[in-house]
Amino acid sequence: MLSQDRSQTTRLETELLLEAIFQRYGYDFRHYAPASLARRIQIQLRRQKAQHISQLIPVLLHDSKAFDHFLLDMSITVTDMFRNPLFFKELRETIIPRLKTWPYVKIWCAGCATGEEVYSLAILLQEEGFYDRCQIYATDYNKRSLVIAKDGIYPLNKIKNYTANYNNSGPKASFADYYHAKYDSAKMNDNLKKNIVFSPHNLASDSAFGEMNLILCRNVLIYFDKQLQNRVLELFEESLCAGGFLCLGAKESLQFSSMVDKFAPVSQKGNIFRKIYRQQEMDDVC
């Protein structure tokens, strides 16, 4: 087969596979970025010892265990405590003082993976003496990751790296204050969890979360194509109250998106944006 025919066939098979999954299970991967999608599908081909993508369709439609593996393979859960420490420093120094002017603050951490990002945020808010006035909603479509996130138990061998990141984020205490080590695990302190609600939410198909003051969605949009990125950014615009803040990952941007005129950059360093509001909208500030 000519290479052009082969790539057209691969594209067609991929579309059929993703459409079948959407129709059968309601999970919508039809607008994930093609390069990342192709790598995930290669993993499935190896796992199922299949030669062609179309052979995956009956397997994934009829075998729920195979579909569970597919879901896990589709979710890239790479994360870290205080990932990109300078972002957390910027959040602490530039955004938290502004958030403190609100009596009560609602935060959405979308695509929270196994929870390291949300515990980092809880630590930061506690150190700023502000955590009791915050409610954090931590969501991901990967339910297995959410179980790990709720437990807040991480391998002890990661603590060295977590501590180094924490130390670079402008901290006010010691990272060791926030966990208890037991055997080869580190369990995050229960008081960090008290204002966090972990819940499933799919950015590709679910609706907005109302009246958020701050949204973190870092290192998630890079896996989506332009159309899905726009959908998600519209969801965030709808979910934020007037003057609310949106934090994206270092490689993500609002440039060329449908929402570029709805936000103003607040920090280039932290990739943080503020929803633009007209003065009269301030009466509605949540």
Ligand X SMILES: C[S@@+](CC[C@H](N)C(=O)[O-])C[C@H]1O[C@@H](n2cnc3c(N)ncnc32)[C@H](O)[C@@H]1O
By CB under 6 A, name the binding residues for ligand X: 75-80, 83, 111-113, 117, 140-142, 145, 202-204, 218-220, 223, 249
80 versus 234: smaller Cβ distance to ligand X: 80
Cα Dmax for the chain: 65
Identify which of 52, 197, 219, 62 has the alpha carbon closest to the alpha carbon of residue 139: 197
* Least distance between ligand X and beta carbon 161 (Å): 13
Least distance from ligand X to the Cβ atom of residue 51, Å:
28
With tokens 């502000």, the residue in question is 130
Q: Which is closer to ligand X, CB of 83 or CB of 262?
A: 83
Question: Distance between CA atoms of 234 and 196, rounded to whole angstroms?
Answer: 24
Between CA 206 and CA 208, with CA 207 as vertex, the angle to 5 degrees is: 135
Half-sphere exposure for 78 (CA within 13 Å, toward CB): 7
CB of 121 to ligand X, least distance (A): 11
Rounded distance between C-alpha atoms, residue 92 and residue 98, angstroms: 10
In whole angstroms, how close is the CB of 52 to ligand X at the nearest point? 25
Cβ proximity to ligand X: between 69 and 133 the closer is 69
As a whole number of angstroms, the distance between CA 77 and CA 74 comes to 9
Return the number of the residue (111 or 270) whose C-beta is nearest ligand X.
111
Contact 218, 117 (CB under 8 A): yes
The number of residues in the chain equals: 286
Nearer Cβ to ligand X (45/250): 250
What's the min distance (Å) between Cβ of 232 and ligand X? 8
